[in-house]
């Protein structure tokens, strides 16, 4: 099983704080990396698809970067809001196998 | 709105019963997946299919079986449920090279 590590495991911040999480994965045979947001009582939803070393993606206050050579991706949230509270999952794909392996996620709680 | 449907959402059954978790998608996606998530743990791939009559076991060993007779339908069956099968089961589908997953709402199974 592919070793995908996410840190921190959980994070509690105040509304308005900016925060970031890390996803580490084996760098060999990299194909793509996906970030998902999983809100309580809902299904995981895709946030970003990242494929190239140095990729930067942005959606509103959330952005992500990718370093395929060293095997990590960062997710940033600027000015956290309570509606950002969720578990954020990263899922790298290696080779072209089409199978996503998930990290155990970072659970973010934003207090009003 | 999700185009991938799972039933039942919640199921509590006794040991030894046969159960089938249903998963259907209306998007015409060729690839479908079953993930299992134990409480506090990451999502683990237990089965996947790249098309009709194609099924493969995932990274995590499972006593369940799957079938893919129609593109839109990917049911998971446990012939004789045991308490160790208590878990959440998430169905997903994808299409194309990016393999971004669309998830169902999940089926939470409790075996007494």
Q: Which residues lie closer than 8 Å to A99 by C-beta, 6 or more apart?
A: A93, B33, B45, B48, B58, B59
Widest pairwise Cα distance in chain B = 41
pLDDT tens digits for range A4-57: 999 999 999 999 999 999 999 988 888 899 999 999 889 999 999 999 999 999
The whole-number pLDDT of residue B54 equals: 94
Q: For the purposes of burial, counting CB atoms within 10 Å of the CB of B18, is it exposed (0-12), middle (13-18) or buried (19 or more)? A: exposed
By Cβ distance, the residue of B59, B90, B100 closest to A1 is: B59
B59/A2 CB distance under 8 A: yes
Residues of A in contact with B99 (CB under 8 A): 32, 34, 93, 98, 100
By Cβ distance, the residue of B42, B50, B100 closest to A49 is: B100
CB A101 within 8 A of CB A92: yes
Question: Within an 8 Å CB–CB cutoff, is residue A55 touching chain B?
Answer: no
Give how far B98 is from chain A: nearest CA, Å: 7
- Return the closest-CA partner of residue B81 out of B95, B64, B67, B106: B64
> pLDDT band for position A1 (50/70/90)?
low
Per-residue pLDDT of chain B (112 residues; tens, 9 = 90+): 559 999 999 999 999 999 999 999 999 999 999 999 987 788 999 999 999 999 999 888 889 999 999 999 999 999 999 999 999 999 999 988 778 999 999 999 999 9
pLDDT tens digits for range A63-102: 999 999 999 999 999 999 999 999 999 999 887 667 888 9
């Amino acid at each position: 099983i592919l070793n995908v590590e996410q840190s921190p495991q959980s994070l509690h911040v105040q509304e308005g704080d900016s925060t970031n999480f890390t996803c580490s994965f084996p760098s060999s045979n990299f194909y793509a990396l996906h970030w998902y947001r999983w809100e309580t009582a809902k299904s995981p939803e895709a946030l970003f698809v990242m494929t190239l070393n140095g990729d930067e993606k942005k959606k509103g206050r959330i952005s992500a970067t990718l370093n395929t050579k060293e095997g990590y991706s960062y997710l940033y949230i600027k000015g956290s809001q309570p509606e950002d509270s969720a578990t954020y999952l990263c899922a790298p794909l290696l080779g072209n196998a089409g199978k996503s392996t998930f990290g155990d996620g970072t659970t973010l709680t934003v207090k009003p | 709105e999700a185009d991938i449907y799972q039933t039942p959402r919640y199921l509590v059954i006794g040991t030894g019963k046969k159960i089938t978790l249903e998963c259907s998608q209306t998007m015409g996606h060729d690839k479908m997946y079953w993930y299992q998530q134990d409480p506090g743990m990451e999502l683990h791939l237990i089965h996947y299919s790249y098309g009709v009559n194609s099924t493969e076991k995932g990274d995590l060993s499972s006593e369940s079986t799957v079938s893919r007779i129609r593109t839109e339908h990917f049911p998971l069956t446990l012939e004789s449920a045991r308490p160790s099968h208590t878990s959440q089961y998430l169905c997903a589908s994808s299409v194309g090279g990016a393999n971004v997953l669309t998830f169902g709402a999940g089926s939470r199974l409790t075996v007494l």
